[in-house]
């Protein structure tokens, strides 16, 4: 297949990190990738800081699922990669993606490395990567990528305020198992370190367990975001 990559970055009040995050993606733009930033109503100047560093700035209602779907609709590439603002791609990500899709990939994700140095974080990231390979379920921190046709077939991200990545993975598994690239994205461990690694692990497992048993994603989002 021909390979045209669109990177979609949802943001909300990320003024403190957005310029550095987007600066790290300029190499992909130079090699032909499209970089779409989707702002969900930031009040700290994020959109204004992002605009000069993006191929296109899109404004959408608040919510990662809504923002990522808006970015995908605006994208012109036939491969979509959804990237959180605090996640860094490996520098050869576009090459590896091109190889994967040339080999027939439908969708997939990268392995994860957490940015901190606490030994427990190494266990957490190994667990995240191993669990994803076993279950075929990916999380947003793993930089999901997919053919545009797969995103369209799935109907985009389900419009829920949390667990949208897990919900989409379950849908996409009906098409194919994910390609699990061993190249690692680097995920900020700030939240883990501020709130405690073990406490964060337990919280995430508790939220996912409740979601599995049918809890309202809106209620889970309020707990996760503390709103």
Among 221, 58, 95, 70, which residue's Cα sits nearest to residue 151? 70
Report whether pLDDT(113) > 80.
Answer: yes
Report whether pLDDT(215) > 90.
Answer: no
Q: Where are the beta strands (DSSP E) in 115-178?
A: 145-147
Sign of CA dihedral 87, 93, 97, 100: negative
Query: Could you give the C-alpha distances from 53 to 46, 85, 127, 194, in angstroms and in order?
Result: 11, 13, 34, 29
What three-state secondary structure class fits 171?
helix
What CA–CA distance (Å, rounded) separates 115 from 159?
A: 29
Q: Do residues 36 and 71 make contact, with C-beta atoms less than 8 angstroms apart?
A: yes
What three-state secondary structure class fits 90?
coil
What average pLDDT score do residues 63-80 get? 98
Residue 198 neighbours by CB under 8 Å, 6+ apart: 120
User: Cα torsion for 154, 156, 160, 162, to the nearest 10°?
Assistant: 90
Residue 167 structure tokens: 């919900």
What CA–CA distance (Å, rounded) separates 33 from 4?
A: 7
pTM of the entire predicted model: 0.94
Higher per-residue pLDDT: 195 or 94:
94
Which residues make beta-bridge pairs with 187? 87, 114
Query: How much of the chain exceeds pLDDT 90, in percent?
Result: 81
User: Which domains are seen in the chain, by residue range?
Assistant: 5-189 (3.90.550.10)
Sign of CA dihedral 71, 72, 74, 77: positive
The pLDDT-based confidence of 127 (bands split at 50, 70, 90) is very high
User: Cα torsion for 144, 185, 45, 74, to the nearest 10°?
Assistant: -30
Query: How much of the chain exceeds pLDDT 70, in percent?
Result: 98
Residue 189 structure tokens: 């461990």
What CA–CA distance (Å, rounded) separates 168 from 183?
A: 22
The pLDDT-based confidence of 197 (bands split at 50, 70, 90) is confident
In the prediction, which pLDDT does 227 show? 52
């Amino acid at each position: 297949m021909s390979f045209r990559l669109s990177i979609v970055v949802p943001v909300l009040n990320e003024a403190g990190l957005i310029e550095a995050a987007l600066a790290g993606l300029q190499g992909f733009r130079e090699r032909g990738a499209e970089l779409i930033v989707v702002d969900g109503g930031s009040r700290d100047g994020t959109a204004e800081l992002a605009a000069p560093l993006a191929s296109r700035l899109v404004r959408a209602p608040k919510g990662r699922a809504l923002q990522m779907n808006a970015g995908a609709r605006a994208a012109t590439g036939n491969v979509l990669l959804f990237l959180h603002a605090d996640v860094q791609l490996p520098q050869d990500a576009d090459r590896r993606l091109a190889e994967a899709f040339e080999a027939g990939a439908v969708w997939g994700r990268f392995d994860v490395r957490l940015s901190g140095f606490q030994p427990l974080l190494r266990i957490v990231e190994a667990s995240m990567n191993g669990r994803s390979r076993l279950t075929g379920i990916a999380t947003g921190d793993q930089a999901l990528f997919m053919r545009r046709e797969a995103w369209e077939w799935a109907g985009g991200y389900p419009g829920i305020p949390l667990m949208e990545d897990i919900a989409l993975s379950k849908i996409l598994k009906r098409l194919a198992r994910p390609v699990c690239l061993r190249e690692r994205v680097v995920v900020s461990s700030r939240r883990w370190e501020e709130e405690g690694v073990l406490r964060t692990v337990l919280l995430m497992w508790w939220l996912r367990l409740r979601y599995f048993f049918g809890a309202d994603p809106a209620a889970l989002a309020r707990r996760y975001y503390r709103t």
